[in-house]
């Protein structure tokens, strides 16, 4: 009787498939921190380092804090913490206190509390200030404001400043939104740039200095440790790097992608999804009809997106949102679904979403539905609140910033480091 080999072949195939699936995905991109480590910390050798960082700065499986602390070539003298804290577990907007890092014993100076710029006293024993934080590529994400203020402090104390570059998760080509014509005097509106700028933190540091976005930067000794392998057409999944949430409510790449537009909901009485496991993906209100909203938004055929009706109830979630808006209330709304990331225009989509929700707002709520100042700060235009309130079509609003975006693309060009 002939024995057929099919069962054996199936077993071999299953083993091969399992091996392929369990093999770690190799990174295509080498971050600035990886490049620095591969070069034995050459530019920092023998120096006392102040590190502006948080949990998002990793080298392989290790926090950059630990890598620096264990490196014999450098002396890690001080840590500087942005919004959300050095371990990234504080709520958005929550003040952070100075402390001591329990693992290393190194002092942590908060830059999101009483002080948002390092004082001369904090920098007195520092030879070089190093910045490494994963940004998300949106103007109002506060890490680039922290970068600018620490650059300014370094320049004023004649301390060199080094940026360890990381990818912009949205790539280098998505540029959308108004350019603020005045200083909104908040971490959300420090720079005259569009909502999405398509630059890495290293590139943007060069632009902050070159365009004198902040005072006293002319003499700053700025160095960017470039990435290897990153190109402007890369979105985060193309890099091969594992995602590490840069803040509690940006848990994955899809959230980072839609955040620049969905964040507008923060300036309303609606829920932006905080208090759920899908912040910014879920949007809703007690009076909203999810089915109607999803139909209207899908009818617009927004590139790379579809919308599903959604029901959810925000709750307190430790490490993400301890007191979310509309906590405990049953809400209806929509869920963003990303179908083609490269096509998504997040800020434009956010305007469509905001407009459609506003059309459904009951008269009893309309009077205080918006926080006008916050909305204009996020959008970067003093006219934005009036545009939405008056029902100006989203396409007209988008057209209003096109010339600004074209001008910005030209202005940023000399500062770009990657093709």
Per-residue model confidence as pLDDT tens digits over 213-270: 999 999 999 999 999 999 999 999 999 999 999 999 999 999 999 999 999 999 999 9
Give the CATH number of domain 32-237: 3.40.50.12170
* pLDDT for 113: 78
Summarize the confidence of residues 149-157 as an average pLDDT. 98
* pLDDT for 22: 36
- Of 172-186, 232-246, 330-344, which gets the smallest average pLDDT? 172-186
According to CATH, where is 3.40.50.12170 located in the chain?
A: 32-237
Assess whether pLDDT exceeds 90 at residue 96: no
Assess whether pLDDT exceeds 90 at residue 15: no
Assess whether pLDDT exceeds 80 at residue 359: yes
Tokens matching residue 270: 């609606």
Summarize the confidence of residues 368-381 as an average pLDDT. 95
| Residue bearing the bigger pLDDT, 352 or 116 | 352
* pLDDT for 80: 96
* pLDDT for 2: 41
| Residue bearing the bigger pLDDT, 13 or 71 | 71
Domain 253-382 is of which CATH architecture?
A: Alpha-Beta Complex (3.90)
* pLDDT for 95: 60
* pLDDT for 19: 39
Assess whether pLDDT exceeds 70 at residue 6: no
In the numeric block, the tokens 């093709």 are attached to: 419
Q: pLDDT digit string (tens) for 110-142?
A: 998 788 999 999 999 999 999 999 999 999 999
Assess whether pLDDT exceeds 50 at residue 200: yes
């Amino acid at each position: 009787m002939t024995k057929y080999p099919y069962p054996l072949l199936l077993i071999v195939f299953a083993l091969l498939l399992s091996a392929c699936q369990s093999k770690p995905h190799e990174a295509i991109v080498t971050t600035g921190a990886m490049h620095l480590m591969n070069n034995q910390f050459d530019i920092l050798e023998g120096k006392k380092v102040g590190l502006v960082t948080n949990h998002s700065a990793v080298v392989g499986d290790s926090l950059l804090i630990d890598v620096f602390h264990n490196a014999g070539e450098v002396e890690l003298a001080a840590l500087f913490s942005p919004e959300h804290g050095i371990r990234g577990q504080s709520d958005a907007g929550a003040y952070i206190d100075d402390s001591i890092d329990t693992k290393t014993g190194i002092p942590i100076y908060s830059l999101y509390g009483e002080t948002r710029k390092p004082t001369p006293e904090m920098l007195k024993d520092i030879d070089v200030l190093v910045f490494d934080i994963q940004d998300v590529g949106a103007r109002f994400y506060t890490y680039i404001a922290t970068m600018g203020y620490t650059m300014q402090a370094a320049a004023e104390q004649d301390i060199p400043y080094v940026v360890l570059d990381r990818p912009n998760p949205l790539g280098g080509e998505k540029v959308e939104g108004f350019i603020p014509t005045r200083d909104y005097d908040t971490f959300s509106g420090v720079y005259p740039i569009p909502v999405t700028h398509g630059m890495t933190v290293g590139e943007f540091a060069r632009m902050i200095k070159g365009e004198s976005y902040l005072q006293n930067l002319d003499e700053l000794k700025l160095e960017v440790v470039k990435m290897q392998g990153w190109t402007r057409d890369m979105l985060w999944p193309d890099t091969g790097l594992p995602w590490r949430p840069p803040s509690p409510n940006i848990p994955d790449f899809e959230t980072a992608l839609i955040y620049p537009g969905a964040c507008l909901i923060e300036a309303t009485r609606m829920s932006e999804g905080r208090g759920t496991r899908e912040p910014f993906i879920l949007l809703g209100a007690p009076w909203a009809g999810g089915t109607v909203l999803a139909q209207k938004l899908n009818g617009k055929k927004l590139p790379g997106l579809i919308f599903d009706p959604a029901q959810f109830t925000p709750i307190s979630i430790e490490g993400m949102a301890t007191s979310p808006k509309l906590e405990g209330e049953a809400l209806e709304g929509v869920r963003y679904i990303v179908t083609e990331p490269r096509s998504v225009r997040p800020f434009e989509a956010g305007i469509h979403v905001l407009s459609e929700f506003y059309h459904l707002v009951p008269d009893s709520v309309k009077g205080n539905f918006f926080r006008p100042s916050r909305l204009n700060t996020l959008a970067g235009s003093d006219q934005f609140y009036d545009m939405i309130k008056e029902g100006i079509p989203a396409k007209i609003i988008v057209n209003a910033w096109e010339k600004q975006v074209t001008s910005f693309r030209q202005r940023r060009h000399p500062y770009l480091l990657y093709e």
